[in-house]
Amino acid sequence: MWTGDTMTNAYELIVNILTAIGVYDQIYNLFEIFGMAYVLKILIVSVLIAVLFAFVLVTVMFLTWMERKVVALVQVRYGPMVTGPRGLLQPVMDGIKLIGKEDIIPAKADRWIFTLAPFIVFVPALLIFIPIPFGNSLIISDLRVGLLYIIAISAVSPIAVLLAGWASNNKYSLLGAMRAVAQDISYTIPLALAAIAVVIFTGSLSTVDIVNAQGDYWFGIIPKWFIFLQPIGFVLFLIASIAELGRIPFDFQESESELVAGFFTEYSGMKFAMFFLAEYAHLFAVSGIVVTLFLGGWNGPVIPFIPVQITSLVYFLIKTYAVIFFTMWLRDTVPRMRIDQLLNIGWKIMVPLALLNLLVAGFLVTAGVI
């Protein structure tokens, strides 16, 4: 029987489980006969990815529901209640509606780029999930440069936004896109700087290493999460992440009252849905990253007799949803800022603060304090 060892990634986990069950060798030999051992590997990975994909889609749907529910909660009303139990099927209905919507491409738009933009916005949003550790061993691929990879992939989204805004040939879209990009890139800097401070402590860019580094306890009680070592870093990272997402109070890419709907004003139907999906997928991913970097990832008290994979997944989801809830809460209680304020905060407060934070962290590590 499988004992619950830690694996490097989910593929190994599957292989391990299959081996424990005792079927892996037979399957492997089967493929081996045809000289296609790697097909097996691709198969397993594909299955994993499919699971991830499904998980992301479900999560996104759930998040759209949750968002409405949280808003309703804050505003002391019910939110969607009709479709399904407590409106739980509302996202499905949304999806059906969007599929049936007309797909309008404005006459003056750049058709190719207009169609390309949803692809480019959606795919990176998925790709971010690759190195996120959902739980012990539950990671698609533990990249050695995981953190850098995440930052790099999330830097693709401004390009898509710009493409979308430009291709629409609508002034509001373009303005929204430009603002979105300005905001995105401005907040990438403190984001990346805050992440570096964490890397200094771990000495590794691998997300798994980062999570493992937070596994211990001080005095046996306080978990060694980086939020305690890096309170400033955490705050910076969280704010920057929210800004990157373009959520209130930083939602200048949309600013419904000013720019109609920002860069995707002209999008409708499934293309719009793609932006929508990407946004929520991104939200989940970013929250997951915050958890990974600062909130101990999947670490939590070990519960006997339950495989650590399962407990860790639960811990991770709990923490992540807590962060997501926080962002939604924020959305409902804080007014939108002005864009100059936003940039001022980004460049004049967060960047210097992040640099200082970095120096302090570096000093602490060099001096051997921690």
Partner 1 sequence: MPSNAFFDNYLPIAILTVIGFVFVAVSLFMSRIVRPSNMTKEKLTTYECAEVPVGDTRIHFNIQYYMIVIVFLIFDVGILFLYPWAVQLKNLGAPGFFQMVIFIEILIIGLAYAWRKEALEWTQ
Question: CA distances (Å), 344 to each of 168, 260, 352, in order?
Answer: 29, 24, 11
Among 24, 28, 31, 347, binds partner 1 (CB under 8 A): 347
> Of 141-160, which residues contact partner 1 (CB under 8 A)?
141-144, 148
Closest CB 352 distance from partner 1, rounded Å: 7
User: Of 23-31, 39-47, 213-221, 311-319, which segment contacts partner 1 by CB under 8 A?
Assistant: 39-47
174 or 308: whose CB is closer to partner 1?
174
Among 172, 226, 280, 316, binds partner 1 (CB under 8 A): 172
CA dist 272 and 104 (Å) reads 10
Closest CB 183 distance from partner 1, rounded Å: 9
Helix (H) or strand (E) holding 217: strand 217-218
86 or 101: whose CB is closer to partner 1?
101
> Of 201-260, which residues contact partner 1 (CB under 8 A)?
203-205, 260
Query: Residue 217: beta bridge partners?
Result: 223
User: Of 71-79, 287-295, 315-323, 343-351, which segment contacts partner 1 by CB under 8 A?
Assistant: 343-351
Which tokens sit at 119? 């692809």
> Of 299-338, which residues contact partner 1 (CB under 8 A)?
none
Among 17, 81, 182, 232, binds partner 1 (CB under 8 A): 182
* Phi and psi, residue 166, nearest 5°: -75, -40
83 or 204: whose CB is closer to partner 1?
204
Amino acid identity of residue 7, one-letter, is M
CA dist 321 and 58 (Å) reads 14
Amino acid identity of residue 51, one-letter, is V
Among 17, 72, 93, 123, binds partner 1 (CB under 8 A): 123
CA dist 92 and 51 (Å) reads 19
Among 17, 27, 49, 317, binds partner 1 (CB under 8 A): 49
186 or 287: whose CB is closer to partner 1?
186
Closest CB 361 distance from partner 1, rounded Å: 9
**Residues 6 or more apart whose Cβ sits within 8 Å of residue 313:** 134, 135, 138, 298
72 or 141: whose CB is closer to partner 1?
141
- Within 13 A of 308's CA, how many CA atoms are on the CB side? 13
Number of residues forming the site for partner 1 (CB under 8 A): 84
Closest CB 144 distance from partner 1, rounded Å: 8
Query: 243, 183 in Cβ contact below 8 A?
Result: yes
Query: 129, 57 in Cβ contact below 8 A?
Result: no
Which tokens sit at 205? 């860019």
Write the DSSP assignment of 283-296 as a string of letters.
HHHHHHHHHHHHS-
Among 3, 26, 33, 38, binds partner 1 (CB under 8 A): 38
Helix (H) or strand (E) holding 218: strand 217-218
User: Of 59-67, 288-296, 316-324, 348-356, which segment contacts partner 1 by CB under 8 A?
Assistant: 348-356
Closest CB 279 distance from partner 1, rounded Å: 14
100 touches partner 1 (CB under 8 A)? yes
* Phi and psi, residue 202, nearest 5°: -85, -30
